Each structure stands twice: as structure tokens, then as C-alpha cells.
Structure 1
Amino acid sequence: MKKLLPLLAAASLAFASSFAVQAAEGDAAAKKAPTAQQNKMKTCNAEAGEKNLKGDERKAFMKECLSANKQARQQDKMKACNADPKAKALKGDERKAFMKECLSAQPAA
């Protein structure tokens, strides 16, 4: 009986410590991988900061940014920029500069 009690205590301590390590690893993994929504929030927040938006203007931008399908908006911008007669007339670096400016312009709401 005297040998059984320390053995049980050691076994329970080992179990408890392994459980604590697994829980800590699970928490660390959950904290490291941001969700898609968190990534979207970070991106929209950065864009709002670059545009120096404040107050209601920032709220409206964030609402639209977080609910918008970014890829579809980017494709729409590409189509509009490519359809611009000025884009069709430009070649090489001039076209590249025009497209960069056009694609970075604020979309029409």
C-alpha cells in the first residue's frame, strides 16, 4: 500500500502535466493562426489608415470593405481600366504606370 500511493500520485501528476502542455499548445496554435475575417479586418483597417479616414467616413469604408468581395471588385476595376481609351493608346511603361494609377484609384460606389 505504501508503494501504491506514491505511484498513483506520480501517475496523476504526469497526466495533469501532459494535459496542461496539450492545452497550452492548443491555445498557442489558436492564437497564431488568424481567421479569414481577422485577416480581412486587418487589411481593411490598413487601407482606411492609408486613406486617413476618420469618423463616419471610416465606418462607412470599413463596412463596405468588410462586406465586399475584394476579388470581384478588383476584377471590375481591371475591366474598367482596360476599357479606358487612354489605356488602349498607351504602350510599355506608360501603360504600366497608367494601369497602376487606375487600379489604385478609389472605386466608384
Structure 2
Amino acid sequence: MKMLRVPLLMIGLLLCSQGYAETAQQSKMTTCNADATAKALKGDERKAFMSNCLKTTPQERMKTCNATATEQALKGDARKAFMSECLKKK
């Protein structure tokens, strides 16, 4: 019984660390924020820059939605419905 503790603990730690991984959106926000700071943008100019920088292109959205659908092992009609909803989000 004691021999199962360590492997189970390691699996638990791996699963917990998945929740703390930086998402693509968070990474993009960090990059855009650093760029805006480097350019010394302030006020409305900064807001406009951040807005443009954070917009996702249709290709990026398709890639993200496709990866999520694959991760969830969706097939057939379920995948089509998921992709449709996912691609509508902005």
C-alpha cells in the first residue's frame, strides 16, 4: 500500500499543474502589454494598440477550436456543433 503513495502523489501533482499553465490568451496579453510599454503608449493610444494586438485572426481561432475539439475527442455531429459554436465566439 505504501508503494502506491508516491506514484499517486506524482499523478496528482501533474494534474494540478495543468491548471496553472499559461493559456495562449494570457501569453498574448503579456506580449502585447510588453510591446505597449516598450513603445511608451498611454491613454487612448494604448487602448487602441492593445485592442488591435489582442484580436484573434480567423486562422488562430480555427486552430484553437480544432485543438480543443481534438483534446475533447469530439467526433461527427458533436464536433461540428462544437466547432460552429467555438468559431462564433470573438
Q: Which has the larger radius of gyration?
A: 1
What is the TM-score of this pair, normalised by structure 1?
0.39
Higher relative contact order (CA 8 A, sep 6+): 2
